[in-house]
Amino acid sequence: MESNDLLLLIRKGEPMTLRQQLSLTLKLSIPGIMAQLSSIVMQYIDAAMVGSLGAEASASIGLVSTTTWLFGGSCTAAATGFSVQVAHAIGAGDMQKARSILRQALVAVTIFGILWGMTGMLISGRLPVWLGGDVSIHHDASMYFLIYASFLPVLQLYILAGSMLRCSGNVRVPSLLSVLMCVLDVVFNFFLIFPSRELQCLGHTFWVPGAGWGVEGAALGTGLAELCSAAIMLWFLCSRSKELLLTKERGRFRPTYTTLKHAIRIGLPMGIEHAVICGAQIMTTVIVAPLGILSIAANSFAITAESLCYMPGYGIADAATTLVGQSFGAGRKDLTRRFAYITVFLGMIVMGVMGIIMYIGAPLIIGTMTPDKEVLALGVMALRIEAFAEPMFAAAIVAYGVFVGAGNTVIPCLMNFFSIWAVRLTLASVLAPVMGLKGVWLAMCIELCFRGTIFLIRLKGKGWMK
């Protein structure tokens, strides 16, 4: 059976066998995993292309990377506040309500994206100073973040459209467009990062035009790729989606108090949670910055490389949000709990395997991003420490997706806050002066294992389904 047919079984209240539940989980998870991997591959490509320009260029992006995640995570929270409502409406079979929420979401998140982008542009000049970066990378770091912030409204609409399609059960289109965005990013970067040059291929020499904008070119290339992908995603969502087709009926686009209240109730804790995590990552950057440019670059490369390992977990978490959201909306609590367990343990298995691959392939992974031997050694050391935490990291990631699907986001936010700030940052601040970058990543490994444990304990209880 196709995923749409299996989702209909949930909405109609019909029984589902364990085989059907596993099949549906895989059908929604695999495209989600591919979408997340393509997203991190885009960051990986940026890092590799910029890495060829030298350690300072890499460090300038690494310095502001956690802040870009903070802003991007806030956009995700804003979109999720509406898309979870859509998942519940679709699960209950109320397509008219789902389309009404979509209309309101388009207006609300566009306004949010514009205001949030303007905020980012205003702080871009002072951000590298606040983060304690070396003066030699201030200009490039500031320009990179300025360009990133200017494209935030586009990124916000891209995230909203993808989230809406996934919550309706369509994971293929967002996945394909994520791959397209990755390809476009490579193309734009190729011409914007490097200057005009001659390339040799099959014994022939070709002249290739280029802007030579370096770090700024990487930011602009990513923004243009987001713009193209967002335009296609919005077109499909509004004119081709079976469940959310807006041309079926007319309706108001002005957000209502009830819809906004529910969006804030779901999205605000998520936004705080993203701020907590990214704030901790920013603090980690502040802890790493005094260790020198080589440590900043290695830390940035290791974070990007580790994303290849944990992004499949976020893909499965997206599937968990859809499955739990629609089951919850249909009033099927037994099915809600089964999908929660299936997705969490699937995530732990997948990321456990990825952790093994990351441990073995660490030299190759980091080596493709930097030719510097000192940066390479530090990056490999960081990845091999982190590999041991991946299964428990998966438990935290996917369980959080489960709780989001049920609309339960407050307590998970508090759990993340305590785990990251009380465990990770405390340990990192103590270990970094003694052990250097190794101490920072050891603290991260311990904290992720602790976080996964407390999320599994909450998943076993029943409070999150209320």
| pLDDT for residue 116 | 95
Distance CA 60, CA 218 (A): 12
Retrieve residue 327's tokens. 């089951």
- Looking at this protein, which amino acid is placed at residue 396? A
Distance CA 15, CA 392 (A): 32
pLDDT band per the 50, 70, 90 thresholds, residue 42 = low
Q: Does residue 466 sit within a domain?
A: no
pLDDT tens for each residue of 1-22: 567 777 778 877 788 888 888 8
| pLDDT for residue 448 | 93
Longest dimension (CA), the chain: 67
Question: Which region among 16-25, 80-89, 231-240 has the lowest average model confidence (pLDDT)?
Answer: 16-25
pLDDT tens for each residue of 297-339: 788 778 877 877 787 888 888 888 888 888 888 888 888 889 9
Residue 260's H or E segment, with its range, is helix 257-288
pLDDT band per the 50, 70, 90 thresholds, residue 392 = very high
Distance CA 304, CA 50 (A): 13
- State which of 140-144, 249-253, 291-295 shows the largest mean pLDDT: 140-144
Cβ–Cβ under 8 Å, residues 322 and 87: yes
pLDDT band per the 50, 70, 90 thresholds, residue 456 = very high
Q: How many domains does the chain have?
A: 1
Chain-centroid distance, C-alpha 100: 27
- Looking at this protein, which amino acid is placed at residue 279? G
Cβ–Cβ under 8 Å, residues 142 and 300: no
Checking if the pLDDT of 106 tops 90, the result is yes
| pLDDT for residue 44 | 65
How many other β-carbons are positioned within 10 Å of the β-carbon of residue 242? 11
For the stretch 281-291, what's the b/e string if a residue is b when 16 or more beta carbons lie within 10 angstroms of its beta carbon?
bbbbbbbbbeb
- State which of 119-123, 132-136, 369-373 shows the largest mean pLDDT: 119-123
Distance CA 92, CA 96 (A): 11
Distance CA 323, CA 327 (A): 6
Q: Does residue 464 sit within a domain?
A: no
> What mean pLDDT comes out for the span 440-447?
92
Q: Does residue 401 sit within a domain?
A: yes
Retrieve residue 269's tokens. 């804790």
Q: Does residue 9 sit within a domain?
A: yes
Print the domain residue range for 16. 3-459
| pLDDT for residue 79 | 92
Checking if the pLDDT of 148 tops 80, the result is yes
Which of 106, 94, 100, 99 has its CA nearest to residue 244? 99
Distance CA 213, CA 222 (A): 13
> What mean pLDDT comes out for the span 274-290?
78
Q: Does residue 18 sit within a domain?
A: yes
Cβ–Cβ under 8 Å, residues 87 and 167: yes
Axis crossing angle, helix 172-192 with helix 152-167, rounded to the nearest 10:
160
Q: Residue 463 carries which DSSP code?
A: G
Distance CA 98, CA 169 (A): 13
pLDDT tens for each residue of 164-211: 998 888 888 888 888 888 889 888 988 998 888 877 777 778 788 888
Q: Does residue 465 sit within a domain?
A: no
Residue 266: C-alpha distances to residues 304, 316, 347, 406, 462 (Å) = 28, 20, 23, 10, 19
How many other β-carbons are positioned within 10 Å of the β-carbon of residue 138? 18
- Listing DSSP states for 247-259 in one string gives GGS----SPPHHH
Which of 363, 394, 362 has its CA nearest to residue 459? 394
Q: What is the pTM of this model?
A: 0.78
Distance CA 94, CA 210 (A): 52
